[in-house]
Structures are given as structure tokens and as C-alpha cells.
Amino acid sequence: MSNDVTSTNNKKIVKKLLLGVVGMFAFGWALIPLYDVICDITGLNGKTGGRVEVAEAGLLIDEDRQVTVQFMAHHNAEMGWVFEPSVAQVTVRPGEVSVVSYRVTNPRTTLMVGQAIPSVAPNAAAAHLNKIECFCFEEQLLQPGESADMPIRFFVDPNLPASISKLTLSYTLYDITEKSGKAQAVAVR
């Protein structure tokens, strides 16, 4: 019996397999950024990014086409803020820059911090709704009873697929008071 040979071989194979295990563990984590990249390209989950840097002038406006953009506002169940777009929908031409604002009020008796997450339907249109100015992923701190207007400045990409004539932009507001650095900073003061 070549016990020694077997045990060296075993060690080699264990090393390789352990490397495989570590590699797959890392791969699991790598899937997170990978998923975001795929989502960005395909609009997989309808998530839209933050603002884009685009020169406002010089955009080619498609005069022959009209696209309706609808606005929705939600918040998670127990937040209690009053959150509404200023208009229900606007009709725009692709390439044309529009401004719409959302009004938010904190009617609670404590200071709270909210954060709005955007989502676009249909998903395929997510990459074609470009926001020059927006409050996406930004922390909004409101004192009790305080209100704020949160504007978004956006244009619809002229490359929007021809079949799409209506876009829906939805914001979901989340209460992130506990996690927020802003709330803690105020509390210290």
C-alpha cells in the first residue's frame, strides 16, 4: 500500500477543493455588484440610478413624439408622512427637460429622516428616464410638523423604445431615522 502517496494526494485535493469553497463563497458576494451591473444594463428590476450628469442644452428633442410620465408616491406602512407629487402626470417630448416636485410633510411628534427609492415601470424604460436633479437615495430630515418640496428635473431619452408611450415613476419613502447619521447629528446638538 502506498499510504504516503495517497495522503499527499489527499492533501493536494483538499487544498484545491477548499480553494473552490472559498472561491464560491466569494462568488456569492460578487453576485451583488454583478447583479447591479446586469440590472443597470437590462433594467432587470426597474431600479433607476441617481442623477446623471448631462448638459441640459444640446439635447435633441424629438418633436414628433409624446410620452406620458406618471408619478406615484408610497411609503412603508408605519411611516405616517404625507407624501405626494405636485402633479399626477405630465406629457413630454423625448429630450425635453421637465421639472416636477414632490411635497413631503412630517406630521409626527418626533424628528424623522426619510429616504426615497425610485422605481420605474415598465422596467425596460428605467434606463431611459434620466434625472438631472433628484432626491433619490438622499436622506431627508424633517422636524415635527415640517414640510419640504423635493424637485426632480428629468428628461426622457429619445432612444426610448418606440412601443413605450407611458412611463411610471414611483418613489417609495422609507423611515431610516434609526440608521441615519443626520438624525444622530441633530440629536447630539
Partner 1 sequence: MSAHDHHHGPAKGLSRWLYTTNHKDIGSMYLWFSFAMFLLGGTFALVIRAELFQPGLQFVEPNFFNQMTTMHGLVMVFGAVMPAFVGLANWMIPLMIGAPDMALPRMNNWSFWILPFAFAMLVSTLFMEGGGPNFGWTFYAPLSTTYAPASVTFFIFAVHIMGASSIMGSINVIATILNMRAPGMTLMKMPLFVWTWLITAYLLIAVMPVLAGVVTMMLFDIHFGTSFFSAAGGGDPVLFQHLFWFFGHPEVYIMILPAFGIVSAIIPTFARKRLFGYDSMVYATASIAFLSFIVWAHHMFTVGMPLAGQLFFMYATMLIAVPTGVKVFNWVATMFRGAMTFETPMLFAIAFVVLFTLGGFTGVMLAITPADFQYHDTYFVVAHFHYVLVPGAVFSLMAAAYYWLPKWTGYMYDETLGKLHFWLSFIGVNLLFFPQHFLGLAGMPRRIPDYALQFANFNWISSVGGFLFGFSQLILLFVVIKCIKGGKKATAQVWEGAQGLEWTVPSPAPYHTFETPPDPSLIKAQ
Partner 2 sequence: MLSKAKLWLSLALGTLIFWSAGLHAAWDLNMPRGVTQMSRDTYDLHMTIFWWCVAIGVVVFGAMLWSIINHRKSKGVQPATFHESTKVEIVWTLIPFLILIAMAIPATRVLTAAYDTTESELDIQIIGYQWRWEYRYMRESMDEEEVSFFSVLSTSREEINNDVEKGENYLLEVDRPLVIPTNTKVRFLMTSADVIHAWWVPDFAIKKDTIPGFINETWVIVEEPGIYRGQCAELCGMDHGFMPIEVHALERADYDAWYAQQQENVRQIQQLAGSAITMQDAMAQGEQIYNRNCVACHQAGGVGMPPVFPAIAGSAKATGDVAVTMETLVHGVPGTAMAAYGRQLNPIELASIITYVRNAYGNSTGDLVQPADVNAYIQEGQ
Site for partner 1, rule CB under 8 A: 1, 3, 6, 9-10, 13-14, 17-18, 20-25, 27-29, 31-32, 35, 39, 42-47, 76, 115, 117, 123-124, 137, 172, 174-176, 179
Per DSSP, what are the bridge partners of residue 69? 90, 167
Distance in Å, CB of 33 to partner 2, minimum = 19
Edge-first strand listing for the sheet containing 147-156: 82-85, 97-105, 147-156, 129-133
Residues in 36-75 that interact with partner 2 by CB under 8 A: 45-47, 70, 72, 74-75
Question: For residues 28 and 58, which CB has a smaller minimum distance to partner 1 in the complex?
Answer: 28
Residue 154's nearest CA partner among 78, 80, 48 is 48
Question: For residues 6 and 76, which CB has a smaller minimum distance to partner 2 in the complex?
Answer: 76
Can you give the C-alpha Rg of the chain in angstroms?
A: 24
Residue 41's nearest CA partner among 160, 163, 124 is 124
Among 20, 23, 50, 144, binds partner 2 (CB under 8 A): 144
